[in-house]
């Protein structure tokens, strides 16, 4: 926060001119005491003004609220828990016994590598300056990010410590890259996973995050002219009005498309379609899904950056949509296959979490209910009918759940964010009120643009990154190592000794 300086008078206030001594023959001035009291009062007032000036200057600078800081710290921890151990266990239970440790290792190390890269250059490129898709290197190595620096929220005059924002966004970048590994599990070399993650993070996650989420903050918008300046300097999709509260495009569509491309480029697992590749522990998958659900409250509600009513809205929408998707997936599977499965229920929960992510702070509870119900059915089709149509061995259905669910949620955000349907609408920071005009058709069109941009950008970058990694070090493990299992062949360990 900038310090304010105060100006002081050059006149001395510590002394007064000396008064001649009174002769006995002269009459004393009857108003002398009154004038002395007025002078003393002026001196005291001036001294108080000088002493309070710095406090008045400080009062003009926003100070982070302790409740907001605590909420952001808890939310960051919840997102870490989503990945370690939530996502790791969810994925781990879905692979075969011989590959359990390999998927745990990939999730853990990819998460760690991305956090390191985020602190070195990722944060600076994503949130460090103006640009359509990239910021700048002004905050490389977190230069200038101190305990006193502040980050904007979505309310005027409200800030949080920039370090809190850095940490929170680091977990988003890390879990996005970790999500991708499920699409090509059980057949990729560990060094290839790491190198791909570095390339894709740098050239895909960072620019998409900047394009969708970067802006100067509400305090920069004082009038229509200031809004034009903020819009001109904002990210590509933010400037066009795309709504993505917590990462439907940035996280889920982005990761889902990259995973699908990876599954196509790398090829199918040996024995796919001929041998049983059933999950080895649905118990672990259920535990992982439960941790994901709990952690997702920090993921979604924490994205509000403040502990207020909108965070509460995102919280309850996350609860409702996830439950609705679990029910709709379970019923759909029950009707289609004759029996509801544990895997289906857990997958339905994740589908609901994914779909409500872009919408959670924009739609009303009943909008969240509908989004969840739709997502459960659509993602059930995504991991069955669509998967067969595409013909790719997306090992853990990353695209079917995250890609399809993210697209569904992103488009329906444009529908149910409408105030007429119980949504919050779009806030006008010039008028300091919700904008009166909201066109569902126009907003859905903007949402579709964001979806298409993410699909194309992620698909192209992922394809090039996979090909480059294959040329440099090779993507796939040898056939004998794949048959043996990556736990032993890649890490020299085994998850179970029996």
Q: How many CB atoms lie within 10 A of CB 361?
A: 27
The pLDDT score that the predictor gives to residue 13 is 39
Instruction: Lowest mean pLDDT of 35-49, 118-132, 298-312, name the range.
Output: 35-49
The pLDDT score that the predictor gives to residue 319 is 99
- The backbone torsions φ and ψ at residue 434, rounded to the nearest 5 degrees and listed phi first, read -65, 135
- Sign, Cα dihedral of 259, 260, 262, 267: positive
- Give the mean pLDDT of 80-90: 97
pLDDT at 56 over 50: no
pLDDT at 126 over 70: yes
Q: Where are the alpha helices (DSSP H) in 302-439?
A: 309-337, 342-356, 365-381, 387-390, 398, 404-416
Quote the percentage of the chain above a pLDDT of 70.
88
Q: Is the distance from CB of 318 to CB of 371 less than 8 angstroms?
A: no
- Give the mean pLDDT of 218-240: 94
The tally of CA atoms less than 13 A away on the side-chain side of residue 121 is: 11
pLDDT at 31 over 60: no
**Of residues 14 and 221, which shows the higher confidence score?**
221
Q: Name residues whose C-beta falls within 8 Å of residue 479's C-beta, 6 or more positions apart in sequence.
A: 270
Q: What is the pTM of this model?
A: 0.87
pLDDT at 438 over 50: yes
pLDDT bucket at 45, cuts 50 / 70 / 90 = low
The pLDDT score that the predictor gives to residue 498 is 78
C-alpha separations of 498 from 179, 486, 488 in Å: 30, 18, 15
pLDDT bucket at 497, cuts 50 / 70 / 90 = confident
The pLDDT score that the predictor gives to residue 5 is 32
The pLDDT score that the predictor gives to residue 42 is 60
- Give the mean pLDDT of 351-367: 98
Instruction: Lowest mean pLDDT of 5-19, 124-138, 252-266, 437-451, name the range.
Output: 5-19
The pLDDT score that the predictor gives to residue 53 is 45
pLDDT bucket at 62, cuts 50 / 70 / 90 = confident
Model pLDDT for residues 379-430, shown as the tens digit of each residue: 999 999 999 999 999 999 999 999 999 999 999 999 999 999 999 999 999 9
- Give the mean pLDDT of 22-47: 49
pLDDT at 265 over 60: yes
User: Token pair for residue 173?
Assistant: 């970048």
C-alpha separations of 326 from 3, 281, 333, 352, 440 in Å: 52, 20, 11, 7, 27
Q: Which residues of 194-223 are buried (b: 16+ CB within 10 A; e: fewer)?
A: bbbbbbbbbbbbbbbbbbbbbbebbbebee
- Give the mean pLDDT of 171-188: 98
Q: The domain at 66-491 falls in which architecture?
A: Orthogonal Bundle (1.10)
With residue 88 as reference, give the H or E element that holds it.
Answer: helix 88-94
Model pLDDT for residues 69-78, shown as the tens digit of each residue: 999 999 999 9
Q: Name residues whose C-beta falls within 8 Å of residue 241's C-beta, 6 or more positions apart in sequence.
A: 426, 443, 446
The pLDDT score that the predictor gives to residue 103 is 98
pLDDT at 372 over 80: yes
Nearest to 172 by CA among 122, 236, 124: 122
Q: What number of residues does the chain have? A: 498
Query: Counting beta carbons within 10 angstroms of the beta carbon of residue 448, is it exposed (0 to 12), middle (13 to 18) or buried (19 or more)?
Result: middle
| Rg of the chain over all Cα atoms, to the nearest angstrom | 29
The DSSP result for 179-191, as a single string, is HHGGGGTTSB-HH
Nearest to 329 by CA among 285, 288, 294, 374: 374
The pLDDT score that the predictor gives to residue 307 is 97
| Domain residue ranges of the chain, discontinuous segments joined by + | 66-491
The pLDDT score that the predictor gives to residue 44 is 59
Q: For all residues of the chain together, what is the average pLDDT?
A: 90
The pLDDT score that the predictor gives to residue 188 is 98
With residue 428 as reference, give the H or E element that holds it.
Answer: strand 427-428
Q: Is the distance from CB of 349 to CB of 298 less than 8 angstroms?
A: no
Quote the percentage of the chain above a pLDDT of 90.
85
In which residue are the tokens 């058709």 written?
A: 441
Q: How many CB atoms lie within 10 A of CB 177?
A: 28
pLDDT bucket at 249, cuts 50 / 70 / 90 = very high
């Amino acid at each position: 926060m900038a310090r304010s300086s105060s100006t002081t008078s050059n006149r001395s206030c510590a002394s007064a001119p000396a008064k001649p001594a009174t002769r006995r023959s002269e009459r004393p001035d009857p108003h002398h005491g009154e004038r002395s009291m007025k002078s003393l009062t002026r001196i005291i007032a001036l001294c108080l003004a000088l002493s309070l000036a710095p406090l008045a200057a400080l009062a003009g600078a926003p100070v982070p609220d302790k409740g907001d800081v605590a909420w952001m710290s808890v939310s960051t921890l919840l997102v870490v828990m989503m990945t370690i151990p939530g996502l790791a266990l969810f994925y781990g239970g879905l692979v075969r016994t011989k590959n359990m440790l390999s998927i745990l290792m990939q999730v853990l190390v990819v998460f760690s590598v991305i956090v390191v890269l985020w602190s070195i250059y990722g944060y600076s490129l994503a949130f460090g300056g103006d640009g359509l898709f990239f910021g700048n290197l002004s905050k490389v190595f977190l230069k200038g990010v101190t305990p006193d620096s502040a980050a904007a929220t979505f309310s005027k005059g409200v800030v949080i410590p920039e370090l809190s924002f850095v940490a929170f966004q680091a977990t988003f970048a890390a879990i996005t890259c970790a999500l991708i590994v499920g699409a090509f599990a059980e057949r990729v070399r560990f060094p290839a996973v790491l190198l791909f993650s570095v390339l894709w993070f740098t050239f895909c996650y960072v620019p998409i995050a900047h394009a969708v989420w970067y802006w100067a903050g509400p305090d920069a918008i004082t009038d229509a002219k200031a809004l034009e300046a903020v819009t001109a300097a904002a990210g590509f999709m933010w400037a066009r009005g795309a709504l993505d509260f917590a990462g439907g495009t940035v996280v889920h569509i982005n990761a889902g498309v990259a995973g699908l491309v990876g599954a196509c480029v790398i090829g199918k697992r040996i024995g796919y379609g001929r041998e049983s590749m059933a999950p080895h522990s649905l118990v672990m998958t259920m535990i992982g899904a439960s941790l994901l659900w709990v952690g997702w409250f920090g993921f979604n509600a924490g994205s509000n950056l403040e502990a207020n009513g909108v965070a509460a809205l995102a919280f309850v929408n996350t609860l409702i949509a996830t439950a609705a998707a679990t029910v709709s997936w379970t019923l759909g599977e029950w009707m289609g296959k004759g029996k509801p499965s544990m895997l289906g229920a857990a997958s339905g929960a994740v589908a609901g979490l994914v779909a409500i992510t872009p919408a959670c702070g924009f739609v009303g509870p009943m909008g969240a209910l509908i989004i969840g119900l739709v997502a459960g059915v659509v993602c059930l089709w995504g991991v069955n009918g669509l998967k067969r149509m595409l013909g790719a061995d997306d090992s853990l259905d990353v695209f079917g759940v995250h890609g399809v669910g993210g697209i569904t949620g992103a488009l329906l955000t444009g529908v149910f964010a409408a105030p007429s349907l119980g949504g919050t609408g779009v806030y006008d920071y010039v008028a300091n009120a919700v904008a009166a005009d909201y066109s569902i058709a126009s907003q859905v069109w903007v949402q579709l643009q964001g979806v298409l941009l993410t699909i194309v950008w992620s698909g192209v970058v992922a394809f090039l990154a996979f090909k480059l990694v294959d040329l440099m070090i090779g993507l796939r493990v040898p056939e004998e190592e794949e048959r043996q299992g990556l736990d032993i062949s890649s890490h020299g360990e085994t998850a179970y000794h029996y």
